[in-house]
């Protein structure tokens, strides 16, 4: 039984990470109907920023500031810079194509993804950058219940994930900006006619979604230690899948989708074999999509003909 | 979607490059033909060699190390031999399709007389035919699959031993020295890794060891679920991987989940400073050249110019050096270097010493004669200690 709970903890932790990235995917799709394939690369940029913040303060083995303060700075800097990068991408790459056929921004998104990946390779080199989290957050810190271990980094990721997802849900459901986001998601033109500043809403959506990806990147760096220019691809793919399974455009759906994929991966690896993880997990997801084509929490859309 | 775009871009790129290089190819060929057999001893010894390696992609860290050592070899050999050899880079991303595209560019460029690489066995399988048809000699510094030197690719050579040497050697060491009752072995879904696993499994099974064979992509960095599967009886985890940072994370996850199994890694895991899990073993087709006094100048030059390195670079230095020497010997014989005479010169390579700390010569199939493997144990200080064979 303890093995089951260990795998559950591992799966929920990874799932929380997928969920945070999936939220950005889902938000952008919600307001723009754009599959932003560059979103995973924003996760990668966030992870690099976290690494360089650690280096700025003396490196993992000889930090010149307290660890809690370091973590706050890492998250704030990554959220700010990656959020800004997301806004810049929207302004210069996607906005000019807003009224173009949908394939055009899709291809542009893939181009932006390659651009970010190649830029990171040129700027930061091919070598793997390592957080060495265990040098400033002890592996023995955390909770141990029986033989189930939840280390401090996992707790941090779970708490941060919960706080951010709850905060986003409140923002979308209970604030004026959230209401405007939902209005733009339903009908952009109608929202504009009602006096909503659509450009502002879309910019805010990119800012928030990208900031979440940046924070997730730092979390991923702390959890998995390694950063290289290609790490965004696989996380982006999983997050995109999570967003679709949960119901693309649905924020609770993205959260649920992330957790479902994280836990499913963990359980298949634990109880069957890592060799078949992708085969079985994605096979199950195909079944889910066949049964509920709009995703677990997505709503079927009526189309006027 | 990404993969398809890469293929389209690569195809367009190859058409453009092939179109450009085919014209230079024909002029160079006729020049070579006109000069063939004439005395060239008074002329500068000019040639190009191609480099095929994963300069981008998940194993770019290994590919750039290989590229750096190829560049270093060319620079040092040019200075020593008074040659003007240039290196033409080709990024294969460790993908067979991309390697074929690069190979097409190289074979259609008549100035390129030989190729260093490619890095992966699966890539050699893909380019072996086109290389042979073009009469292009190519020497890999890291492709170890057994099938590569069974006669299918007559212009292929390698300066490292093959899986049928390393796999059994490593497996026997694990069986006879570490004495596990059960173990976990995790391949990384690449030909290099699965080839080594195939060579090890029969020995483990013959020794009555219970084996849990797992498999994870190189792109995966979360091993917590896999580590949770390591049972107390599994006292060894074998990781024939190419990415040291992933093995370090695996070790960290083991510590976090209070697992005490010993990690036994191969080749790519030789990375002091990155893979530092105390008590782990790493077997490598390349030696630690920083511990070889005769290689001090090369190690120093590489360290100064490119920073720290592992064991993937030195074999590529050796491969490049073999080609450089072959071209130089052709020039010294008064001939104009061509693919045919460079190939013939490579076949007769007989270097009594090399950067690898062993002589280099090839058997009739292109395999390194008496190739060695090196086994290291990581000390609590993170140092790699050579275990005498």
Would you say the C-alpha torsion A254, A257, A262, A265 has a positive or negative sign?
negative
Minimum distance, in Å, between the CA of residue B84 and any CA atom of chain A? 28
Do B303 and B157 share a domain, yes or no?
A: yes
Each residue's pLDDT tens digit, B333-361: 999 999 999 999 999 999 999 999 889 99
pLDDT value at position B136?
A: 97
Residues B302 and B276 sit within 8 Å (Cβ to Cβ): no
- Show the low-confidence residues of chain A (pLDDT under 50): none
Two structure tokens written together for B37: 């057999």
SS3 B222: coil
Domain containing residue A162: CATH number: 1.10.3470
Q: pLDDT at residue B43 above 80?
A: no
Contact A274 B5 (CB under 8 A): no
- Distance CA(B99)–CA(B283), nearest Å, equals 27
Do B150 and B212 share a domain, yes or no?
A: no
Query: Measured between beta carbons, which residues in chain A are less than 8 angstroms from residue B245?
Result: 128, 130, 225-226, 228
pLDDT value at position A117?
A: 92
Q: Which domain holds residue A138?
A: 2-291
pLDDT value at position B28?
A: 33
Count of structural domains, chain A: 1
Across-strand partners of B375?
A: B283, B387
A126 in contact with chain B, both atoms CB, cutoff 8 A: yes
**Burial of residue B160, with CB atoms counted within 10 A of its CB: 0-12 exposed, 13-18 middle, 19 or more buried:** buried
Domain containing residue B133: CATH number: 3.40.50.2300
Instruction: Please tell me which residue of chain A has the smallest CA distance to B310.
Output: A127
Domain for residue B314, yes or no? yes
B211 in contact with chain A, both atoms CB, cutoff 8 A: no
Interface of B with A in 60-119 (CB under 8 A): 60-61, 63-64
pTM assigned to the model: 0.76
pLDDT value at position A301?
A: 62
B252 in contact with chain A, both atoms CB, cutoff 8 A: yes
pLDDT value at position A305?
A: 56
Do B155 and B172 share a domain, yes or no?
A: no
pLDDT value at position A304?
A: 55
Two structure tokens written together for B358: 């062993």
Would you say the C-alpha torsion A254, A257, A259, A261 has a positive or negative sign?
negative
Domain for residue B389, yes or no? no
State the average pLDDT for chain B. Answer: 87
Domain for residue A298, yes or no? no
Domain for residue B274, yes or no? yes
Count residue pairs from A and B with Cβ separation < 8 A. 109
Domain for residue A201, yes or no? yes
Each residue's pLDDT tens digit, B198-237: 999 999 999 999 999 999 988 888 899 999 999 999 999 9
- Distance CA(A244)–CA(A293), nearest Å, equals 9
A113 in contact with chain B, both atoms CB, cutoff 8 A: yes
Domain for residue A296, yes or no? no
* Nearest residue to B117 via CA among B79, B76, B80, B64: B64
Which stretches of chain B are DSSP H helices? 2-35, 60-81, 96-107, 121-133, 163-173, 191-206, 224-228, 244-256, 296-306, 313-332, 339-347
Confidence of residue B15 (pLDDT cuts 50, 70, 90): very low
Q: pLDDT at residue B27 above 80?
A: no
- Distance CA(B317)–CA(B119), nearest Å, equals 13
User: How many CA atoms lie less than 13 Å away from B306 in the CB half-sphere?
Assistant: 23
Q: Which domain holds residue B331?
A: 41-161+294-361
Each residue's pLDDT tens digit, B295-341: 999 999 999 999 888 889 999 999 999 999 999 999 999 999 999 99
Confidence of residue B190 (pLDDT cuts 50, 70, 90): confident
φ, ψ of residue A4 in degrees (nearest 5): -60, -45
- Distance CA(A127)–CA(A52), nearest Å, equals 14
Tell me which residue in A11, A126, A228 faces B225 most closely, judged by beta carbons: A11
Two structure tokens written together for A24: 């950005």
Two structure tokens written together for B330: 């052709």
B370 in contact with chain A, both atoms CB, cutoff 8 A: no
Across-strand partners of B138?
A: B115, B156
A36 in contact with chain B, both atoms CB, cutoff 8 A: no
Count of structural domains, chain B: 2
Domain for residue A63, yes or no? yes
């Amino acid at each position: 039984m303890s093995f089951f709970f260990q795998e559950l903890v591992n799966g929920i932790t990874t799932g929380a990470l997928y969920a945070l990235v999936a939220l950005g995917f889902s938000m952008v799709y919600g307001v723009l109907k754009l599959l932003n394939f560059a979103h995973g690369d924003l996760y990668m940029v966030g992870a690099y920023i976290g690494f360089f913040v650690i280096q700025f303060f003396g490196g993992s083995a000889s930090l010149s500031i307290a660890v809690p303060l370091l973590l706050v700075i890492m998250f704030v800097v990554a959220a700010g810079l990656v959020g800004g990068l997301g806004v810049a991408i929207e302004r210069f790459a996607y906005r000019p194509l807003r009224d173009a056929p949908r394939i055009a921004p899709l291809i542009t998104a893939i181009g932006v993804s390659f651009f970010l990946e190649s830029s990171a390779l040129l700027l930061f080199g091919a070598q793997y950058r390592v957080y060495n989290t265990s040098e400033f957050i002890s592996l023995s810190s955390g909770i141990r219940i029986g033989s189930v271990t939840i280390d401090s980094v996992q707790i941090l990721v779970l708490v941060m994930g919960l706080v951010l997802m709850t905060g986003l849900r409140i923002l979308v459901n209970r604030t004026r900006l959230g209401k405007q986001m939902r209005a733009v998601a339903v009908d952009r033109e109608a929202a504009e006619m009602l006096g909503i500043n659509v450009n502002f809403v879309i910019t805010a959506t990119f800012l928030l979604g990208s900031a979440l990806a940046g924070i997730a990147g730092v979390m991923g760096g702390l959890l998995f230690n390694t950063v290289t220019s290609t790490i965004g691809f696989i996380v982006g793919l999983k997050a995109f899948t999570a967003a679709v399974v949960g119901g693309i455009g649905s924020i609770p759906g993205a959260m649920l989708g992330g957790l479902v994929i994280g836990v499913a991966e963990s359980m298949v690896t634990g109880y069957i074999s890592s060799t078949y993880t992708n085969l079985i997990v994605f096979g199950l997801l195909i079944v889910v999509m066949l049964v509920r084509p709009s995703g677990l929490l997505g709503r079927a859309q009526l189309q006027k003909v | 979607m990404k993969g398809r775009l890469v293929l389209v871009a690569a195809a367009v790129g190859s058409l453009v490059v092939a179109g450009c290089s085919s014209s230079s190819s024909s002029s160079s060929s006729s020049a070579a033909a006109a000069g063939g057999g004439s005395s060239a001893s008074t002329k500068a010894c000019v040639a190009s060699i191609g480099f095929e390696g994963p300069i981008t992609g998940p194993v770019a860290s290994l590919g750039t190390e290989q590229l750096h050592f190829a560049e270093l070899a060319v620079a040092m050999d040019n200075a020593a031999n008074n040659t003007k050899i240039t290196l033409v880079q080709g990024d294969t991303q460790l993908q067979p399709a991309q390697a074929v595209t690069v190979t097409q560019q190289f074979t259609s460029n008549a100035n390129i007389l030989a190729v260093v690489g490619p890095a992966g066995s699966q890539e050699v399988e893909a380019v072996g035919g086109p290389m042979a048809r073009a009469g292009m000699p190519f020497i890999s510094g890291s492709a170890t699959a057994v099938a590569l030197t069974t006669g299918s690719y007559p212009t292929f050579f390698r300066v490292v031993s093959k899986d049928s040497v390393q796999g059994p050697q490593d497996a026997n060491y694990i069986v006879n020295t570490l004495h596990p009752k059960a173990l976990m072995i995790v391949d990384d879904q690449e030909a290099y890794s699965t080839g080594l696993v195939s060579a090890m499994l029969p020995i483990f099974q013959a020794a009555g060891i219970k084996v849990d064979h797992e498999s994870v992509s190189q792109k995966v960095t979360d091993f917590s679920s896999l580590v949770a599967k390591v049972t107390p009886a599994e006292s060894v985890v074998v990781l024939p991987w190419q990415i040291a940072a992933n093995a370090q994370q695996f070790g960290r996850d083991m510590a976090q989940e209070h697992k005490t199994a010993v990690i036994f890694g191969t080749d790519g895991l030789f990375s002091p400073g990155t893979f530092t899990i105390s008590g782990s073993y790493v077997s490598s087709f390349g030696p630690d050249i920083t511990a070889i006094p005769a290689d001090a100048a090369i190690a120093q030059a590489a360290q100064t110019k490119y920073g720290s390195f592992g064991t993937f670079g030195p074999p590529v230095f050796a491969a490049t050096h073999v080609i450089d020497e072959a071209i130089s010997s052709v020039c010294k014989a008064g001939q104009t270097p061509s693919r045919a005479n460079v190939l013939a010169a490579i076949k007769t390579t007989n270097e009594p010493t090399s950067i690898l700390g062993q002589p280099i010569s090839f058997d009739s199939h292109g395999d390194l004669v008496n190739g060695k493997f090196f086994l290291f144990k990581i000390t609590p200080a993170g140092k790699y200690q050579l275990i005498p064979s």
